[in-house]
Amino acid sequence: MKFEIVSTSISKVKTDLLVVLLDKELEFGFVEDSKLKTLLDNLRRDFEGKTVKKEYFTRWSEEGIRHVLVFHSLLDSAYNIWEKVKIFSARALGYGKDLNLSNVALLLNGQDGATYLGKVVEGAILGSYTFEKYKKEKNKYLEGLRVTLIVNESSREISARKLSRYSFVSEIVNECREIVNEPGSVVYPEVLADLAQQIGKEYHLKVTVLDEKDLQKQRYTALVSVGKGSIHPPRLISLEYKSAKKSKVKLALVGKGITFDTGGISIKPSEKMLEMKGDMAGGAAVLYTLKAVAQLKPNINVVGIIPSAENFPDANAQRPGDIFVAKNGKSVQVDNTDAEGRLVLIDAFARASELAATHLVDIATLTGSVVRALGQAYAGIMGNNQELIDAVIKSGKNHGENLWQLPLPEEYKDLLKTPYADINNIGGVNGGAITAGLFLQEFTPENTAWAHLDIAGPFMFDKSWKYYKEGATGFGVKTLVDLCERFAGYFPQ
């Protein structure tokens, strides 16, 4: 797919499909007096009078335009206008593909067109991604597709900037989705570690990988315990980005990197277990955020930390009831080996502390419970610092990634008590997302602002959702990239 920005008058545009977005107040596109303008005026009336309730598609064959496709923001009422624009753009390319049209033009020359141009680009890129690596028949359509963005002469510059920014981040989100969609037997901890090394080499990040021997020696007992049942040994990966400008802020992004979660000895039911190939979605989000950050170069220091293991049952696997002593000296009883995410995360927290992080944001497909509570369209967010939580929520809002805060009530801490150790790794049937958060809180480094994102809902869909086709969404990359970029502004030093 190739994008092109033009500011020619609509009467001179040649395209297979002209896409127009209508809204009651906003003006995305503008057409001079013509047959096309009459069509759009009539359609606007019909949409607003609710006599047209679906997008309008017609063969046009006037001048250079072969087909016309019109959306009105009254459609898809469940979403805000930013999300709608992405959905429309994705759907427009769907028409293009079905009819095998090699040029699609979006009309964004109105006074509000440029404001939404980035979202149009994002919808096109995220919306046309599918995981097809293992299919014999590859989709060739995108290779030949030209997407023309028709803008106002005066907004060419801002449009070009938005195109470059949004296509850059969206492509990275798709790379993240690709790695999450890969089967568990292809992407295991060593593979993630190699990928991190490659990215680090290409974009000048300092990458450190601790292997099983290092982990043993340095007493990363949680990660070692979780990884014991697998033929693929665990890895603790870190990628460090250093700002050229001096900064006192070091933001640690920690992502759960369980490359396959069978549950271990507390094995999961087979139904839907395959989704657990994506139990490294948080880790992948962190990896690809660092890839973006290395190129966007924000004015803060960022370190990505990915504790990676495969959770398998085996004669050597950790057993329910096992106890280990974590790096901070607290003993942990593993009542349920399927609550492994929180275990590997606490070792990554210890690593963040060693690397002197001032702020810590973790992202993890942590609990089924958060999906029960919020459904798939929201990730849960918790933490010990409201300013940081608010900043993350805001970055999420900027990009259509919904985060809903859950409390961390002190009174629930009792649920994690066990007679045999300092803390249990599970807290009973109720409030599972919260007790997982409370568990993590016990291991956050001192004097560190912390926010925890539980993305078990939106990390993957088995049907298409908004502009995403089925499969991994790359949830979190857009939010974390936005957060890194705005961080120096949010938390002035």
The residues carrying an active-site annotation are: 268, 342
Hey, CA dihedral for 402, 236, 291, 383, is it positive or negative? Answer: positive
Contacts with Zn ion in 265-294 (CB under 5 A)?
279
CA–CA distance, 156 with 426 (Å, rounded to integer):
55
What is the residue whose two structure tokens read 């596109």? 29
Stretch that binds Zn ion, among 39-47, 255-263, 423-431, 456-464 (CB under 5 A): 255-263
Of positions 298, 432, 437, 445, contacts ligand BES by CB under 6 A: 432
Of positions 125, 169, 348, 426, contacts ligand BES by CB under 6 A: 426
Q: How far is the CB of 130 from ligand BES (least distance, A)?
A: 21
Q: Does 261 bind ligand BES (CB under 6 A)?
A: yes
Q: Does 279 bind ligand BES (CB under 6 A)?
A: yes
The 8-class DSSP code of residue 468 comes to B
Of positions 221, 259, 369, 444, contacts ligand BES by CB under 6 A: 369
The 8-class DSSP code of residue 29 comes to -
Stretch that binds ligand BES, among 11-19, 158-166, 360-368, 483-491 (CB under 6 A): 360-368
Neighbours of 151 (CB within 10 A): 27
- Closer by beta carbon to ligand BES, 205 or else 226: 226
CA–CA distance, 380 with 376 (Å, rounded to integer):
10
What's the gap between Cα 469 and its chain centre? 14
CB proximity list for 312: less than 8 A, separation 6 or greater? 229, 230, 231, 260, 262, 264
Q: Are strands 331-334 and 322-325 parallel, antiparallel or unpaired?
A: antiparallel
- Closer by beta carbon to ligand BES, 172 or else 436: 436
Q: How much of the chain is in helix, strand and coil states, percent to nearest 5?
A: 40, 25, 35
Task: Specify the 3-state DSSP secondary structure of 181.
Answer: helix
Q: How far is the CB of 443 from Zn ion (least distance, A)?
A: 17
CA–CA distance, 474 with 176 (Å, rounded to integer):
6
CA–CA distance, 74 with 46 (Å, rounded to integer):
11
Of positions 110, 127, 234, 341, contacts ligand BES by CB under 6 A: 341
Q: Which amino acid is at 63?
A: E
- Closer by beta carbon to ligand BES, 233 or else 427: 427
Of positions 122, 240, 261, 362, contacts Zn ion by CB under 5 A: 261
| Closest among 350, 360, 254, 252 to 301, alpha carbons compared | 252
Q: How far is the CB of 276 from ligand BES (least distance, A)?
A: 6
- Closer by beta carbon to ligand BES, 122 or else 279: 279
Give 418: exposed, middle or buried? Use CB within 10 Å, 0-12, 13-18, 19+: middle
CA–CA distance, 205 with 301 (Å, rounded to integer):
11
Q: How far is CA 426 from CA 276, 339, 340, in A?
A: 19, 7, 10
Q: Does 310 bind Zn ion (CB under 5 A)?
A: no
To 10 degrees, the CA torsion angle through 328, 331, 334, 337? 20
Stretch that binds ligand BES, among 134-142, 156-164, 365-373, 443-451 (CB under 6 A): 365-373
Q: How far is the CB of 399 from ligand BES (least distance, A)?
A: 21
- Closer by beta carbon to ligand BES, 310 or else 340: 340
Stretch that binds Zn ion, among 186-194, 257-265, 283-291, 383-391 (CB under 5 A): 257-265
Stretch that binds ligand BES, among 112-120, 222-230, 359-367, 386-394 (CB under 6 A): 359-367
Of positions 109, 159, 365, 479, contacts ligand BES by CB under 6 A: 365
Q: How far is the CB of 262 from Zn ion (least distance, A)?
A: 8
- Across 140-249, the runs of DSSP E, i.e. the strands, are 146-151, 206-210, 235-241
| Interface with ligand BES: number of residues (CB under 6 A) | 16
Q: Does 236 bind ligand BES (CB under 6 A)?
A: no
**Which of ligand BES, Zn ion, none interacts with 336 (beta carbon under 5 to 8 A by kind)?**
ligand BES
**Binding-site string for Zn ion from residue 335 to residue 374, where x marks contact by CB under 5 A and - marks none:** ---x-xx---------------------------------
- Closer by beta carbon to ligand BES, 56 or else 378: 378
* Phi, psi (degrees; rounded to nearest 5) at 422: -70, -30
348 close to 452: Cβ distance less than 8 angstroms: no
H/E stretch holding 103 reads strand 103-108
- Closer by beta carbon to ligand BES, 354 or else 462: 462
- Closer by beta carbon to ligand BES, 251 or else 346: 346
Q: Does 362 bind ligand BES (CB under 6 A)?
A: no
Give Dmax (Cα) for the chain. 80
Q: Rule CB under 6 A: which residues touch ligand BES? A: 261, 275, 279, 336, 338-341, 365-369, 426, 432, 456
Q: Rule CB under 5 A: which residues touch Zn ion? A: 258, 261, 279, 338, 340-341
